[in-house]
Amino acid sequence: MTLFFAFIALLAGIVLVGVTYGFARNNLLEDEYTSAKQQAFVNADEVRTQLTVDPLGIGGYFDDVLRTAPSGFAVLSSAEPDAPRAASDQLHPVSDFPERLVDAVRAGKSGIQNANIDGTDYATVGVFIAEYNTGYFEAVPLDETESTLNAVLTALALGAAGTLLLATLFGLATSRRLLRPLSQVADAAEEIASGGLDTRLEPESDPDLDRLAASFNEMADAVQTRIEREARFASDVSHEMRSPITALTAAVEVLDARRDDLPDRTQQALEVVVGQVRRFDSMVIDLLELARLDAGATDLNLELLDMPDLIGRIAGRYGETDLPIVIGSGSPQEVTLDKVRFERILGNLLENAHNHGGGALRIELQPAGAAMVQLAVEDGGPGVAQSERDRIFERFARGSAARHRIGTGLGLALVAEHSAAMGGRAWVEERVGGGARFVVELPVEASQ
């Protein structure tokens, strides 16, 4: 919109300057030509009188009496050999005048023509004196007219530039005023998308804009209500399922303890039931945890942690006692971090590597700029396709290589949620040599 206003102002300025300058130039030159013709005819009449009274003294008359414009000059010329000749400026003979004008005067006509003589513009007038078959030529300089035209053009250009600037500023102010509500809507939509469901627009004084704000707020209310209802539903369902799942798990564990007393086919069925019940129990626990994260019911509990020791203990808890742990140069030994969330993140990454990547190959901790660390778990499995690397952190999402394997599909979602809650982020990349490399970047406070 700003460029549109600037373009319109520029176009209008060019047209206005062109028309105004052309009109002023035509008028000034017309006045100059009229004045030059009148003065030339008056002077020609005086020359005619002088030729009648004293033909031989015409030269002195040109030198002392004839009045031409300042910096102008006049020439008396005839085609007859013995006719008197004279000039008010001996530097400019009749040959300096336009050839067409000279020919017209010698043919018995009078006229006026613009000419450039020695780099200066002149209005040249030719008058035929019939009694003596002589032509009187006078040149009137146009430098004052050109100066006036240059001043007019400069003033018009400055006016056009000022108009362009004002139009651009007006367009900028107008566009900002018109687009401000849209910017506010975009900002509010971004805040809602990032989790700020209570974001709303302020009422506007303009009726149309106020309608837009009211419609957006109504939409945001509906979205918030629906999301909160779905979150409560998931939380309620998970909570209500917790009790029967606990009872079912206890009953299955009792049966599993007496596995040897059952027939072989029953043992096989019991094994399937035990595995699915445990998986179901794990899924319910994960869903409850995600519901708490969605509701913002969990706070950060920061404490000072020895990172190498904590990583080793978590790995041992998940059966990875011999797993190499690489601590990068510059990594802080002790940091302030939420221990429970960190254990959940690393534990889920180790479980993911065990279930889908054939087991973790190593754990790596590296510094990542000021007050940031990167935790990476590498595996030697099939890896994650490029097209699935963002989607794999969604809930119940599975990579194509792990579609038919065990797991709830919530482990990596919990990794992403806990990382975001701590102010970090999680992603997956290809491991050098094959496999996947899951990376979590977290803000930390190093111990002094």
User: Domain extents for the chain?
Assistant: 2-149, 207-295, 302-446
The pLDDT value given to residue 363? 93
What is the pLDDT averaged over residues 224-251?
73
Q: pLDDT, tens digit, for every residue of 298-324?
A: 667 788 888 889 999 999 988 888 899
Residue 417 predicted with pLDDT over 70: yes
Q: Note the pLDDT tens digit of each residue in 343-384.
A: 989 988 998 888 887 889 999 998 887 788 889 999 988 888
Nearest Cα to Cα of residue 397 among 414, 410, 416: 410
Task: Output the pTM of the full model.
Answer: 0.50
The CATH architecture that domain 302-446 belongs to is 2-Layer Sandwich (3.30)
Give dist(CA 337, CA 375) in Å, integer. Answer: 13
Q: Could you give the CA distance from residue 49 to residue 129 in angstroms, rounded to a whole number? A: 11
CA 305 to chain centre: 44
* Domain 2-149 falls under CATH 3.30.450.20: yes
Question: By C-alpha distance, which of 142, 129, 136 is closest to 66?
Answer: 136
* pLDDT at residue 242, rounded to an integer: 67
Residue whose structure tokens are 């209310």: 221
Closest CA relative to residue 91, chosen from 120, 114, 61? 120
- Decide: helix, strand or coil at residue 80: coil
Nearest 5°: CA angle at 411, between 253 and 383? Answer: 120
Confidence of residue 448 (pLDDT cuts 50, 70, 90): very low
Q: Which residue has the higher pLDDT, 193 or 231?
A: 193
Residue 110 backbone zone (phi > 0: left; psi -120 to 50: alpha; other: beta)? beta
User: Does the domain made of 207-295 have the CATH classification 1.20.910.10?
Assistant: no
Classify strands 134-141 and 120-129 as parallel, antiparallel or unpaired.
antiparallel
Contact status, residue 438 vs residue 350, Cβ threshold 8 Å? no
Confidence of residue 401 (pLDDT cuts 50, 70, 90): low
